[in-house]
Structure 1
Amino acid sequence: MIDVAVAIDGEAVNVTRTRAAAGAYNDDGEWVPGSPDAATIRAAIQPASGNQLMDVPEGMRTEARWLLWSRSEVKVDDMITSGGVSYRVMHLWPRADGGFYRAAIGRLDP
């Protein structure tokens, strides 16, 4: 059996993962959004095939055209930037084991 984590390490490149931080209300009762938190992670981004897209919820299939594989944690709505192109994490597949994350991502227009 192939060790997927080792395969991911072989194809991964440095990308930027930006995650929105939780906001809070200030003393005047006004909402203050949290500052985005950016981190460099290693991930492999590949175009999704038709069969792989069948696992994505129907309403996301036209937008989520790429797959991300990473050993670093990713969450829905994280923004991933690779080679000057930004993507949004749209769907995650639960992984009980394996030590990696698999996500469907959609390209954000510039």
Structure 2
Amino acid sequence: MNIAGLAIDRRAISMTLTRRAPDSYDPDTGKAITGVPAVIPIKAVIQPATGNQLRDLPEGVRTEAQWLLWSRSQVQLDDTVTHKGINYRVVYVWPRDEGAFYRAALGRTTK
């Protein structure tokens, strides 16, 4: 097991991740069917992003991203993470080939 994975396991706390299923199409009515959101309990760490970490992000994402999330649970772009009543939108996910964890940049969506 790698060091980052051990740190995540020791510091992670419970929160929820909401992922909306893709929209589909009803051929009988010709209307779109909105995807149903799935609420998934996860354990993760959320920390404020530093200047160096923000520099690693694409330019258009930097202004929205103020937090970093580390988790062993799969995280995807546009997921919503909720912790202590605060919603964060996943605005960027770093591609990972190793490590068995996910790292994402979050933007706060509610006060």
SS of equivalent residue, structure 1 residue 52: helix
Please tell me the residue identity of whatever aligns with 1:89: V
3-state secondary structure, aligned to 2:53 = helix
Question: C-alpha distance in 2, partners of 1:24/1:98?
Answer: 34
Aligned residues: 109
Partner residue of 2:32? Answer: 31
Partner of 2:55: 54
Aligned to 2:65: 64
What is the aligned-residue identity percentage? 52
Which sections of structure 1, spanning at least 5 residues, go unmatched? Answer: none
Structure 1 runs (4+) deviating above 2 angstroms are none
After superposition, the CA RMSD in angstroms is: 1.0
Cα deviation, 1:44-99, whole Å, max 9, x if unaligned, reads 00000000100011111111000000000000000000111000001111110110
Equivalent residue letter for 1:83: K
Amino acid corresponding to residue 62 of structure 2 in structure 1? R
Q: How many Å apart are 1:109 and its aligned residue?
A: 2.8
What TM-score does the superposition give when structure 1 sets the normalisation length? 0.95
User: What amino acid does structure 1 have at the position aligned with 2:23?
Assistant: G
TM-score (norm 2): 0.94
Distance in 2 between the 1:34 and 1:95 partners? 27
